[in-house]
Amino acid sequence: MIRKFLQRDQTEGGNAELGEQSHRGQDMKNSLNLVIIMSVMMMLAAMSCCGSATPVRHDFPRVGPYEVITGDFHMHTKHSDGKLSTRERVEESFRWGYDAVAVTDHGKLDGYRVARYVGEPLGMIIIPGFETGLSGKEHLVALNVPADHPIRDAHHWAESAGQAKAFYQEELKKIADAGGLVIYAHPHVGYREPVIWGIEQGIIQGIEYKNGVVGKGWNTTESHGTWWYPEAVDFALKHNLAIFGNSDVHANRAPDTSPVTLLLVTERTNKGVMDAIKARRTAAWFNGMLWGRKDLLTNILQSSVVAKSRAGKIEIENLSPIGLTGAAGSEKIDLKPYAKITINNTAKSVSIAWDNVWLDLKTNLTTQHKVQ
């Protein structure tokens, strides 16, 4: 009898203990579920404040052997005078649809490794770079130098040899010898001898038409509906420079201060980007306009705008993220990104004179499109 009582007591106790364990397990599950729910809510709140984690659509059709990608090669983080961390800056650039970026802090390459760590898993191309220049004069952006490139006297280069500060020619040569090249940023002091020398040496290979943050300052000129550097257009064409639209962003991005550089690349790599710059396969997209060389823009537009016959009319489709306006004869063209319109026309080809695609300060692009 005693043995049976003890057995029953042990069984009931065991059952009670199992029940207690079951309750504890359920409590733990509930707590874990609560943590997960709270985490998701916090993530959604952050996304609603800072923009979706999904990038805006920005794909272009291929242009022959090239893929068209979007870039921003002038921006800042907390490593210099920016307001965002490197991670925040790269993730923001991804959300805005940039394929390739260079974090170019003043006199520092410190953000490059983190930029690669954050950007490459997102499919982005990260170019090492930094900003420097001559004392009180030109600002220059160096691209594609090693992460341990020695930077001397950033923004304080001397214009002649034998000074206390580094001589600009020696520093430019070091950048070139390291495999880099230079962009003339916001050309606010004009086109002086140091820039001409750098171009003649093949070191300065690009120029910003549009800089996103300088606004009405830094000797910009109001032209074509915005403040920018219109005199850079003739200068770039005369000296065969790559064309850039860069943000120079320090705080958060905004639509009016986020220009885009388009690049036609053979591969989505650092080398592909640098090859495109060296071959001058770049264009600047800002304030609803597209600026570049005739052959390159013609190829982009002919690939992006498709004309098809539809019941005695012509359907015109825009396969790009750029809104396009113009005229096909007497028919006005207003093509929203990735949209279609129909015009009254039965021709076998259509000629479109674009209002917002520019070759120089006075010349718009006209393209021919075979009707399919």
Q: Quick check: 189 and 219 in contact, CB under 8 A?
A: yes
Q: How many residues does the chain have?
A: 372
Tokens read off for 257: 């201060």
In tens digits, the chain (372 residues) has pLDDT values of 333 333 433 444 444 444 444 455 555 555 555 544 444 344 434 443 444 467 889 999 999 999 999 999 999 999 999 999 999 999 999 999 999 999 999 999 999 999 999 999 999 999 999 999 999 999 999 999 999 999 999 999 999 999 999 999 999 999 999 999 999 999 999 999 999 999 999 999 999 999 999 999 999 999 999 999 999 999 999 999 999 999 999 999 998 889 999 999 999 999 999 999 999 999 999 999 999 999 999 999 999 999 999 999 999 999 999 999 999 999 999 999 999 999 999 999 999 999 999 999 999 999 999 999
The answer for residues whose C-beta is within 8 angstroms of residue 306's C-beta and 6 or more apart is 316, 317, 319, 369, 372
pLDDT value of residue 256: 83
Q: Please report, to the nearest 10 degrees, the dihedral formed by the alpha carbons of residues 203, 205, 98, 366 taken in order.
A: -170
Q: Beta strand 139-143 with 221-223: parallel, antiparallel or unpaired?
A: unpaired
pLDDT value of residue 26: 57
Q: Quick check: 361 and 234 in contact, CB under 8 A?
A: yes
Q: Quick check: 367 and 354 in contact, CB under 8 A?
A: yes
- Name the residue among 295, 288, 282, 318 with its Cα closest to residue 70: 282
HEC per residue, 222-261: EECCEEECCHHHHHHHHHCCEEEEECCECCCCCHHHCCEE
Rounded Cα gap, residues 174 and 286, in angstroms: 32
Q: 304-370 sits in which CATH class?
A: mainly beta
Rounded Cα gap, residues 40 and 245, in angstroms: 37
pLDDT value of residue 303: 98
Q: Quick check: 356 and 289 in contact, CB under 8 A?
A: yes
Identify the burial level of 370 via C-beta atoms within 10 angstroms of its C-beta, where 0-12 means exposed, 13-18 middle and 19 or more buried.
Answer: exposed
For the chain, give every domain's residue range: 1-50, 67-292, 304-370
pLDDT value of residue 56: 87
pLDDT value of residue 17: 44
| Fold category of 67-292 in CATH | TIM Barrel (3.20.20)
